[in-house]
Each structure stands twice: as C-alpha cells, then as structure tokens.
Amino acid sequence: MLRDAGLVAAKDLRVELRSRVATNQVVPFAVLVLILFAFALDPDRGILGRAAAGLFWVTVLFSAVLAIQRSFAIEADDDARDSLRLSGLDGAGVFLGKAAAVALELLMLEAVLAVGVVVLYDVSLHDGALLVLVCLLATVGIAASGIVYGVVAAGLRVSDTLLPLLVLPVLAPVLLAATRASEAALATVPGDAWPWVRLLAVFATIYTVFGVVAFGPLLEEA
Amino acid sequence: MTTASRATRILGVATLASLAVTAWLALVVSPADVNQGDAVRLLYLHAPTAWLAMYLSFGVTTLASILYLWPRTRSRLWDLVAGASAEVGVLFIGLTLAVGSIWGRTTWGVWWTWDARLTSTAVLFVLYLGYLAVRRVPADPLVRSRRAAIVALAAFIDVPIVHQAVEWWRTLHQPATIFDERRLLDPRIHGTMLWTLLLSVVAFTLLYAWLLIHRVRLARMEELVDDRELADALAERRAEGAAATSAPDEMPGLVPERSGAGVD
C-alpha cells in the first residue's frame, strides 16, 4: 500500500513539475489573494496584522480547492483514470499517494505565503516550531478530506462548482483551529494553542482513515 | 396514482389536528413570558424544528446511508429515504435559522450573533446543502447514490468536530454565551408552556413522518416514470424499425428521416 502510495505521489508531483500549473498559476493566485486582502482591508490601520493568521488560512483553503481540482483534472485527460483503475494499484495506496502529493504542494505554497504575510502584513514570528507543526497537521487534514471529496466530484460535469461547496464547510473546523493556533504562534493574539493542535490532529487522523476505507470503492465505480 | 394511502391519510389528519392544537395552546392558552413577553411563543416553533432537523432528519439520513452502503442491506429504498430525510431536514433547519433570527432580533436586538450554537447550526445547514447538491448532479443513478451516501457519512463525522471547534472558539474568546440554556431547561418552566412545548415536538415529528413517506413515494414514482418512458421510447423505435423492414416501398419519403433518428 505504501509503495503504491509512493508511486502515485511521485507520478502526480512529476506531472505538476512538468506542467508547471502549480508554480505558474496556483502560487501566483495565492499571492494575488494576499494583495487583494490588503486592498480590501486598508493596510495602514493595522487590521491586516491582527487578521494575518485568518487571511493566511483562507488563502490556503482557496488554493487547496484549486490544487485538489488539479489533482483530478490530470486523471481526466486521456482516460488516465481508467489506466489507474486497471493498474492494479491498491485503492488506499492511490488515496494516500494523491493526498501526499497535494499536501506537499500545499506545504510549499504555505512557505511562500508565510514569507508573503511577514513581508506584506508586517507580522513577526513568535514560535516557529509551533507554526510548522500547525501547518503540517492542518495540511494533512486539508489534503485528506479534499481528496475524498475530489473523487466524489470527479468525472461529473459540474465538478468545478460542486467541489468548493462540498469541501469548504467540512474544512470550517480546520480553518478555525489553524487560525487560532497560528495566532498564538505569531503572537498576534495571545492564547493557548494546544487544544487547537489536538483538534487538527484528530481531524487529520479521522479523514485519513475515512479516505483509506472509502477511496477504493469510490475509485472503482467512478 | 397518488402518494397517499389509508395509513398516510390518518397520519396526515393526526398531524393537522396536533398542529392545530399546538397553535391554539401556543397562541391562546400559554401565558406570555415575564421577560420576553409574547416573543416567547416562538419557542414552540423554534425548538421542535431544531430537534427535528438536527437529530431526527440527519440521524435518519446517516442511518439510511449506512444501510445503503452495507452490501447486505443495500436497497434503492434506503437511498431514497436518505435523500428525502435530508431534504426535510434542510427545510426545517432553514426554518430554525429564520425563526431563531426573528426571535433573536426581538430578544437580543440583533438578527445574528456568532454564538457557538448558531454557528454550528449554520455550518450544518451548508454541509447538508452540499449533500443535496450531490444528489441532484446529472450522472448515473447508481454512481450518484453511492457518492451521495459517502458524502452523507463524511458530513456526519464532521459534525462533532465542527461542534467542538466552534464551542472552543466562542468560549475561549468570550466569557459567556448569550444563549442561556438554563432558561430553556429550567424545571420551573410554567406547566402550560412545558405541555405546549412537548405537544409541538410530537406534532412536528408527525409532520416529519408524513413528509418523509410522501417524499419517498414520490421519488419512487419519478423513477418508475423514467423507466416507463424509456421502455415506451424503445418500443416505439422497434415498431418503426419493424414497419420499415416489412414495407419499405410504401413510405419511401420516410426512409432518410428514420435512418437519421437511429435508436441510441
């Protein structure tokens, strides 16, 4: 299962690396959203600095929707999904591989965005290790639940509009928890981050297990 | 054809009668609240719709989805029940939010507040709107049913996480919620008010059962109509084909038209 996951993740990342859609479109989009927030919230009044954590995670969520759509768009071309189904790879392995690829892409995106937030929104880092932990846990949760809903919407004519409607409400607790924990890490708002970190860990675990169990049957009939 | 039967007619009459008695008790017999005045009468609409939507409807949707996914109990019926129950649930959760909003305006002075319970109810509303969206997607019915059932389960396991997150979010940042639960569950609640509340819950549960049964039967009929139309269309094309082969010379003008409209 893990070997299959590695194969699928390597394949997805290789496609992304060669097509350059993630680097040339998704990352610039995320930076653009950061700039749009600055226009909307008047950077001189200090609102941006206080809201930095929340804006960061909202941007990550929107970009995640794009990354998940990408992850299934590459399967739609040339009937790649059929080849994937016929390849004999384990369903759970395919799920873990696709989720890992999306998670890696999102982590790179978060690194770029974090620099952007520090530069553009004038915030300073208080607890770097905590921020890295929060990013890791939240990203695993986003990628796992996103891939589950991605395959539900895959292959449907309305999948582009259906996916955000399905995945964003489910990610509401991740947005809440990651924002509160990041605020503590950035020291914009003092608070205890550990309950939120635990919640993120629980979310990531539940949806990873759910995906491992449910993905095989979903991929079969898709 | 009709979606009614003897049993549902009796159920319908019982529903109407209990709703009428509830309305009479709520609007005429039960007293106004000391603090809230007549606005407290919204309780008899707000509490039962909330219970019905959040526990009964979505509980039934989850259970029916599990029964549909489980190979031994798989049946079209469970899929239809899950969908019908979610539809009724979304309707009632919308009502809960609307009535709650009006009540909030009269007692708290605001239409909406980011109270823990309000927020998680709103998230639940959107979660199940997504579920209904999946059910309406144009796709093969079997594929759609299985995907919808998985979405229902994924949404259901999200509910406790949403609840916990929102609970912490509000309690970590503000000392107390505006919603005073003790007032609702106060054992000193006036006798008539308590009875009215209990009756309203019974009345709305009957209404739920009535709506659910009719919605499931309607969905069944829609499927039958689809099957029938398909069968009729096939029979028509076959008859055309048979007529064309038996007497090709009698209707020469129709031949190109027939070949253009082949049977798919």
Least confident of A146-150, B81-85, B163-167: B163-167
Side-chain-side CA neighbours of A72 within 13 Å: the count stands at 24
Q: Min CA distance, A158 vs chain B (Å)?
A: 7
Pick A173's closest partner by Cβ from B126, B151, B161: B161
Q: Tell me the per-residue pLDDT of B217-242, one tens digit each, with 9 for 90 and over.
A: 999 998 889 889 989 999 999 998 88
Write the ipTM: 0.83
Determine whether the interchain pair A169/B172 forms a contact, defined as Cβ–Cβ distance below 8 Å.
no
* A177–chain B Cβ distance below 8 A for any pair: yes
pLDDT, chain A, mean: 86
* A218–chain B Cβ distance below 8 A for any pair: yes
Determine whether the interchain pair B150/A152 forms a contact, defined as Cβ–Cβ distance below 8 Å.
yes
* A216–chain B Cβ distance below 8 A for any pair: no
Q: Is residue A99 predicted with pLDDT exceeding 90?
A: yes
Q: In the prediction, which pLDDT does B243 show?
A: 84
* Burial group, residue B258, by CB count within 10 angstroms (0-12, 13-18, 19+): middle
Q: In the prediction, which pLDDT does A221 show?
A: 62
Mean per-residue pLDDT, A180-202: 82
Determine whether the interchain pair A158/B158 forms a contact, defined as Cβ–Cβ distance below 8 Å.
no
Tokens (6 digits) for B259? 């070949």
Q: Is residue A56 predicted with pLDDT exceeding 90?
A: yes
Q: Identify the closest residue of chain B to A220 by CA–CA distance.
A: B143
Percentage of chain B exceeding pLDDT 70: 84
Compute the distance between CA of residue B152 and CA of residue B90 in angstroms, rounded to an integer: 13
Q: In the prediction, which pLDDT does B261 show?
A: 43
Determine whether the interchain pair B154/A202 forms a contact, defined as Cβ–Cβ distance below 8 Å.
no
Q: Tell me the per-residue pLDDT of A123-156, one tens digit each, with 9 for 90 and over.
A: 887 788 888 999 999 999 999 999 999 888 887 8
Q: Min CA distance, B116 vs chain A (Å)?
A: 12
Q: Is residue B258 predicted with pLDDT exceeding 50?
A: no
Pick A170's closest partner by Cβ from B143, B158, B166: B158
Q: Identify the closest residue of chain A to B161 by CA–CA distance.
A: A173
Mean per-residue pLDDT, A48-58: 89
Which residues are CB-neighbours of B187 under 8 A, at least 6 positions away?
none
Confidence band of B250 (pLDDT split at 50, 70, 90): low
Q: Tell me the per-residue pLDDT of B107-150, one tens digit each, with 9 for 90 and over.
A: 778 888 887 778 888 888 999 999 999 998 888 888 888 889 98
Q: In the prediction, which pLDDT does B263 show?
A: 43
Q: Min CA distance, A68 vs chain B (Å)?
A: 17
Which residues are CB-neighbours of B15 under 8 A, at least 6 positions away?
B203, B206, B207, B209, B210
Q: Min CA distance, B150 vs chain A (Å)?
A: 8
Q: In the prediction, which pLDDT does A188 show?
A: 62
